[in-house]
Structure 1
Amino acid sequence: MKKLLAPALLALAGLSLATPVAAQADFGSCLARLKPQAAAKGISGQAFDAATRGITPDLTILDLMNNQPEFKTAIWDYLSALVDDERVQDGRAAMQQWGRALAAAEARFGVDRHAIAGVWGVESNFGKDIGGRPLVQSLTTLVCYAPRRNEYFKGELMATLKIVQDGDINPANLRGSWAGAFGHTQFMPSTFQRLAVDGDGDGRRDIMNSVPDAVHSTANFLKKAGWVNGLPWGYEVRLPANFNPGLAGRKNKKPLSSWAAMGVRRVDGRPLEGNYSAGILIPAGVNGPAFVVTRNFDAVYSYNAAESYGLAIALLGDRLKGLPGIQAAWPTDDPPLSRAQRRELQTLLAARGYDIGEVDGKIGSKTREAIKDVERRIGLEPRGRPGGKVLQALRG
């Protein structure tokens, strides 16, 4: 549920010049201004003081605002890291362990359990990567130092303080992403207030520590976003040679019969069948994989407002059902890497003396700088991209 911020809104001119002492003084003044605003929202002074006592600004968050992979990463790299064999295996294990909770959520809200599990897998790797940043610290930093998004983050901060005051979640455990998303399926605090539900019957809505609460809440979100029981999210298709790319787009929906009349077929050659409307996505252009997408894809899209993200959830859900992954080739001669291959790449870089930090499959700044050096040595443009050519060169 990380709310994506357009690059145009991320200008924070002059902030990097602030000294820590000045920043802390400004932060204290900002907190003082926030307290009466919180009171106007029904948050007691005692609750505000308890939640904010001793916190300091985390200015590293401001750098993270400019590095959102949904916008900066090639679609094939993005999907390869999120929907790989490792995540599918982990997802099947999680679905077996929590099968009753997922089945109950499906029955209660009419949302496919595999779609729910897809959200869970993409958002937190089935609870393994929930995020460790204290929400109150992150959100107060954003309120005080990201002025163009001040009202949005202020609303999320107030929702967080309300969560603490209401006692749904132990404040010591209220940790998540830099933008304030938290829990197994990474709800924003305001979304939690509107849509979180009790899934385990204990009277509380704890998406941090209760998988049933998290999957039921996610099913409720998707249902409210327009999910239609029994309707597919979409599937991969094969476009005719003369397909007009101007017709593509999630919102440009037509009856399946219209697409079929243009020569669109399923990727395996079967005809399109169904009495519903769909759009066509071509995330890498007409020379890459194409998909028909229904209103159920729109429901998934609304979770994070990025088509690459929506595809990751939908494709992971399909893989968890036992369906194959993407069949068409991406338009690149440098294949993307899975997380296991990224760890192999980091291991090989470290063996050659590069300082890449921890071998974890996550491509941070140190790994990218090392990759750039290898790219230069093998005659590639130094972009710091973890691709197949760099991995093959390191293997050699």
Structure 2
Amino acid sequence: MPTRRTLLLTGLGGLVAGCAAAPPAAPPVPAGEAPRPDPVAARRFEDFLAGVRAEARRAGVSEATLDRAFAGLRPNPRVIELDRRQPDVVLSWEEYRDRIMLTPARIQNGRRHYAENAALLRRIAGEYRVDPRVVVAIWGVETNYGGNTGGFDVVEALATLAWEGRRAGYFRQELLAALRILDQGHVRPERMKGSWAGAMGQPQFMPSNFERMAVDFDGDGRRDIWDSRADALASIAHYFRRHGWREGEPWGQEVVPPPGFSPEQADTETRRPLRDFARMGFRRADGRPLAPAELEAAIVLPSRGNGQVFLGHHNLRVIRRYNPPVNYGLAVGLLADRIA
């Protein structure tokens, strides 16, 4: 979700693993035969659901909601496969930037959506004081401007992952949050779709982030991040506001370092005013002066990069609260710059 978020692919690489053992593997299926159900695993899953049902009921979730959410529910083998076999794809910064994040199509579509939603974005910016370009950039990066929100049933995916055991504790809590969301009527069970790991809707919030961050911006009584563009974009802005976005400050800027600069020896931890970087010989890549002089920044180096250097400000750290990898934060900032 959320949330949520280097490209390994990044989504949930930082989640804390659960300690429960994985269920036993089903016996091999002879060639040409359909897979046979594993009765032991089925009983374990039913026992697991009974425990979740009891816990959710104690938390106030209605029996009717639980009946609808759990009707015909079975573990999804594809979810387990994706969780266990996440692709170990490590891209350079340049590949990630140009092939994945800052493609001409993503930039062009971002400009179009920014223009088409200008009035809505102005209202959201007035309410949350967050740069609407960054809101649109997150929207574009997470779900291609709402066009790819995921096709997995969220309750099924979370139940599978909570039962399967590798991160059982985390996903059980997310499943309980999803059940509370259903019980509150924000979305119908059949519409609660998302990623294989349970990230939901246009902002890709995990259910717990939905509970904390999603907003009803269109005033219809539901926080609908699936089908309400107003709710989805305002929820992204609310997320950034809650994490300390500073209105009017840039996220960062590409710079040309002074002669003799060594990336291997660069101090990327110390924040100092831009005037200090100017005295050291740093200059903006576009030729403009480093300004405002008193704004604090730190050197930011892309992971697996080939020489590009940035000065990152406080708002870059806020962007990285959405997804921590430095390359993700830099790409969102650069996309926002290109959108408008």
TM-score tier by shorter-chain length is 0.7 to 0.9
Q: CA deviation at 1:15?
A: 5.6
Q: Can you list the C-alpha shifts for 1:44-81, whole angstroms capped at 9, x where unaligned? A: 23322210111111132233336667973332222222
Bigger drift between 219-228 and 270-279 goes to 270-279
Matched, 1:110 2:129: yes
Q: Which residues in structure 2 correspond to 1:155-194 (within 5 Å)?
A: 155-194=173-212
Equivalent residue number for residue 124 of structure 1:
143
1:90 maps onto 2:119 in alignment: no
Q: Is residue 18 of structure 1 aligned with residue 36 of structure 2?
A: no
Q: Deviations over 1:81-117 (max 9, x none)?
A: 2211101111122122222211111111101110000
TM score, norm. by length of structure 2: 0.86
Higher RCO, 1 or 2 (CA under 8 Å, sep at least 6)?
2
Query: Quick one: structure 1 residues 105 and 267, their matched pair in 2 at CA, closer, same or farther if it must change by over 3 Å?
Result: same
1:13 shift after superposition: 8.0
**Long gaps (5+) in structure 1:** 322-396
Alignment partner, residue 338 of structure 1? none
Calculate percent identity across the aligned residue pairs: 37
The Cα shift of 1:26 comes to 2.2
Distance in 1, matches of 2:325 and 2:88, equals 6
How many angstroms does 1:306 deviate by? 1.8
Aligned-partner Cα distance in 1 for 2:92–2:302: 10
Counterpart position of 1:230: 248
1:146-198: CA deviations, max 9, x gaps? 34x22221111111101100001122110001111111111111111111111
One-letter code aligned to 1:217:
S
When residues 118 and 248 of structure 1 are mapped into structure 2, their CA distance, relative to the original with a 3 A threshold, is: farther
State TM-score, norm by structure 1: 0.74
Going from structure 1 to structure 2, the CA distance change for 1:170 and 1:300 (only over 3 Å counts) comes to: same
Query: Conserved in 1, the CA contact under 8 Å of 2:17 and 2:168?
Result: no
For structure 2, list consecutive stretches of 5 or more residues without a partner in the other structure.
Answer: 5-11, 28-36
Map of 2:322 onto structure 1: 303
Contact 1:248 1:282 in 2 (8 A): no
Would you say how many aligned residue pairs link Structure 1 and Structure 2?
319
Question: Once the two structures are superposed, what CA deviation does each residue of 1:29-54 show, in whole Å capped at 9, x if it has no partner?
Answer: 21112111112222123322210111
Q: Hey, what does 1:152 align to over in structure 2?
A: 170
CA displacement at 1:7 relative to structure 2: 9.0
Alignment partner of 1:263 out of 281, 295, 304 = 281
Instruction: Please say if residues 17 and 170 of structure 2, whose CA atoms lie closer than 8 Å, have aligned partners that are also in contact.
Output: no
Q: Counterpart of 1:320 in structure 2: which amino acid? A: I
Could you tell me how far apart the structure 2 residues matched to 1:270 and 1:95 are? Answer: 26
**C-alpha deviation, 1:257, in angstroms:** 2.2
- The answer (yes or no) to whether the contact 1:183–1:208 under 8 Å persists in 2 is yes
| 2:161 counterpart of 1:142 | yes
- Shifted more, 63-72 versus 110-119: the winner is 63-72
Task: Tell me if 1:219 matches 2:237.
Answer: yes
Q: 1:197 aligns with which of 215, 227, 231?
A: 215
Residue 281, structure 1, aligned to residue 331, structure 2? no
Indicate conservation of the 8 Å contact 1:70/1:306, yes or no. Answer: no
